[in-house]
Structure 1
């Protein structure tokens, strides 16, 4: 608890030190509370003050959990109050999260952030999806039970620590110049199917190059619309026997398993010429909702129409 103390208070305090601390404040991730599910937040059922004639922007004040109120000394409370005062105004009706400390631990990464409430009622965060982004690329992602944080009063910001364990990491690249925390919650119109399904037989057939490209691809592709399936090619090659082998990533944004029967696949080169085309038996492909699954498609030599094609860049079309 209070891992951020090492980061924020391990130096001599003073006006210069406080100014330096402002640089710790990261970008804000905000969501309209009306978009959140009951499993994600709970709005306390009590009369709210009338908003008639009130400004659309809200300036928040610091709200400490009773445990933080008891454990932190006056100097640390002052510093948190100073940091909170530097946060921008919020649009009324939103909740948000803003990170201000990220410290590596032996078993993961501790991130301290302000959870902010610009509504006119107390809000309890429950089970929320959070992600760490390094230079605008996802680094770690998980759902967090925040029920212990308690109710956040209206128009306040509450600091809280969250440990992202190593199993939440999407890759091991720690090189970055900027970071931020993003709230992944609400009634989304898009899905990010980043959970990879990889059966042992498929893994044995893949080269290390294919595995590396797959890992990089799975966590760099943009989200897909809800109730859709997208298929992306991530590697291709030819065998000595003249076969063409294409590695595809199936991403399922449906609420049910994706189970195709047959797929008509066409691969073209940069000149627009058809390299291979055929109807593939896809009955063994099963992709769970919100998941991604790679699959290898093998075209026999007789289906390869342009054996000498340059495949440094290629186009995949699936029907």
Structure 2
């Protein structure tokens, strides 16, 4: 149980506010926040030990808080204390709800941010300890960030922010075309390729793999292979050199070689088509069975 700090009337609010849709925290689906403005009422936890002077302070501070839109949750920073001996940072904040019904929160990761929005600390809290929050209420609470959860050296005393860590919204895996491809590939073909990428199971999170699109054995003995370079990570990648193996339906190695790409960038969560030309000397099997085939770097064999 986190007990609230006792404040006097001259204490000023030190932190910023952070309001989000309740759906983003609760994982629910509602009709949205709308434009209805909600004034939250002070709610003190039944077991919190708060004297009259501190309660007056919380009531005064709550009256000064901005209205919330309907169906929002908010964290409004009140006080931050850095314990030099232990390294712990204690944050007092209002946990606010503009829902029409009472709500009990669960395990939620909170972030402590500096005035520039950079992360100071990160920790998962069990917000069920706050108890049931009444409809349209504002409950003060203390959050302790132990030293091991703190990432920054500088701890600001004002304009910090306690915020919900929200899961990034899922963005569909999409097609990315190099500038030369955009110029040379007809719009209709671009649309077909884009639809193919969207309808194909995307790579696993963090995975980079290759998907064969088409191949052709030329009269000069070279093999032309067009692949989708699929980046399933949340970071852009840059390929400067790429060794590749082409394998046919029988599992035989058709061609093998390395390519300098100059570098070739592939944005996060995208697939980029690229054509690789294996000269005759890199081709090991001329009568390959391409009814089914695959391409991969040798280390992924």
Separation (CA, whole Å) in 2 of partners of 1:63 and 1:226? 41
- Give runs of aligned pairs for residues 286-301 of structure 1, distance below 5 A: none
Match of 1:100 in 2: 78
What SS class does the counterpart of residue 124 from structure 1 fall into?
Answer: coil
What SS class does the counterpart of residue 67 from structure 1 fall into?
Answer: coil
Q: TM-score, normalised by structure 1?
A: 0.51
Q: Answer yes or no: is 1:183 the counterpart of 2:173.
A: no
Match of 2:104 in 1: 124
Match of 2:280 in 1: none
Choose 1 or 2 for highest CA Rg: 2
**Residue-pair matches, total:** 192
Give 1:259 deviation, angstroms: 3.6
**Residues 23 and 72 from structure 1, CA distance in 2 versus in 1: closer, same or farther, beyond 3 angstroms?**
closer
RMSD (Å) for aligned C-alpha atoms: 3.5
Match of 2:133 in 1: 152
Match of 1:30 in 2: 19
Separation (CA, whole Å) in 1 of partners of 2:126 and 2:172? 25
Q: Answer yes or no: is 1:279 the counterpart of 2:242.
A: yes
Q: Which blocks of at least 5 consecutive residues in structure 1 are unaligned?
A: 44-53, 191-224, 229-253, 265-275, 282-302, 306-314
User: 1:127, 1:143 within 8 Å by CA — same for their partners in 2?
Assistant: yes
**Residues 166 and 85 from structure 1, CA distance in 2 versus in 1: closer, same or farther, beyond 3 angstroms?**
same
**Greater than 6 Å deviation, 4+ residue runs:** none
Give 1:104 deviation, angstroms: 1.2
Match of 1:310 in 2: none
Q: Answer yes or no: is 1:143 the counterpart of 2:124.
A: yes
Match of 1:75 in 2: 53
Q: Which blocks of at least 5 consecutive residues in structure 2 are unaligned?
A: 175-201, 211-227, 230-238, 245-259, 267-271, 273-301
What SS class does the counterpart of residue 104 from structure 2 fall into?
Answer: strand
**Residues 131 and 279 from structure 1, CA distance in 2 versus in 1: closer, same or farther, beyond 3 angstroms?**
same
Match of 2:235 in 1: none
